[in-house]
Amino acid sequence: MSATVFNNNLKTLGLLQVSKEQTEIINGPAYKEYIKILYLPAGYKLRVDFACYHTQQPTLFFISPNQYLELEIAGQESGYFIFYNRDFYCIQIHDQEVACDGLLFNNIRNMPKVELLENEIAFLGGLFKEMIGEFQLNDSSLEEMMRTYLKQLLIRATRSWKRQHLTHDVTDQQSDLEFFRKFTRLVEQHYKSKHTVADYADFLCMAPKTITHKFNRLRLPQPNEVIKNRIILEAKRLLVHTSLTAKEIAYELGYSDPAYFSRLFQTKTGESPSSFRVNF
């Protein structure tokens, strides 16, 4: 199957099979601007930002446009690669429909994967076949059918993500789960200008201690660490994928004192921004 792509009025969604032959295309610049979903059987190795993943079983990966993706090794079985833009489907606007923002995408613990159970593998196999069939049919309702299939995938994957990454008692406490997502989305929106727990406490209309208490209950790192980790992740991306200086990156991330930012980076990573860039 070659790339099958829907394009209409700036709305784009495409599907292609993943194999050894497709690796260079997926790693190239063509898909950088898109939201990406990868379905990879066992035997694949990929890098997302600064983490490496080896698939031991069929796994879904969710990649935002600002994340770095490199497929390093392709397994024996073919996988699937979905790419689409926000004009086709925006998870922020349609949050009530799929509730995946802050879990599958923009996750504060940077866990972009879901390992699948047998029934989930069977469901997704059927879903991809339906999508391929829909492209071949090329009916006037293609766009809406594709959006329906995409939503089914996101809803099922969100349920699987909760099963895999959250304890059952937390999953049952809907308010805690919604807090987890809300905090995540706020950090993603404001990490360049808001650096303290107190900043986010103001957004959430609660005391900083309450946030810490909720994080402890969710078995998350301390909220201050979560904020700083997001800032450092962006600093690493900018160091590796742009030519900005450490001083320019400090300003980009909202620090008026580049020396303070460099000390923070050194504390969090064990090396200076310049040595991180050279070593990577």
* pLDDT single digits (tens) 217-265: 777 778 898 899 999 999 999 999 999 999 999 999 999 999 999 999 9
pTM for the predicted model, two decimal places: 0.81
Q: Which residue has better confidence, 3 or 62?
A: 62
CA distance 192 to 255: 8
Strand partners, 71: 46
Share of the chain above pLDDT 70, in %: 94
Higher pLDDT, 112 or 239: 239
Q: What is the pLDDT of residue 174?
A: 63
Q: What is the pLDDT of residues 155-169, one digit of tens each?
A: 999 888 888 876 655
Given a cut of 60, whether residue 93 has pLDDT beyond it is: yes
Q: Per-residue confidence at 1, pLDDT binned at 50, 70, 90?
A: very low
Report the mean per-residue pLDDT for the chain: 88
Q: Which residues lie below 8 Å from residue 71, measured CB to CB, with a gap of 6+?
A: 18, 23, 26, 27, 38, 44, 45, 46
Is pLDDT of 26 > 70? yes
32-58 pLDDT, tens per residue?
Answer: 999 999 999 999 999 998 889 999 999
Q: State pLDDT tens for residues 166-182.
A: 665 554 556 777 787 88
Helix axis angle, 174-190 relative to 208-217, nearest 10°? 120
| pLDDT band (50, 70, 90) for residue 9 | confident
pLDDT at residue number 173: 59
| Higher local confidence (pLDDT), 94 or 153 | 153
Higher-confidence residue of 108 and 154: namely 154
Residue with tokens 């742009």, as numbered in its chain: 242
- Is there a contact between 223 and 212 (Cβ–Cβ < 8 Å)? yes
pLDDT over 50 (residue 212): yes
CB 123 within 8 A of CB 156: yes
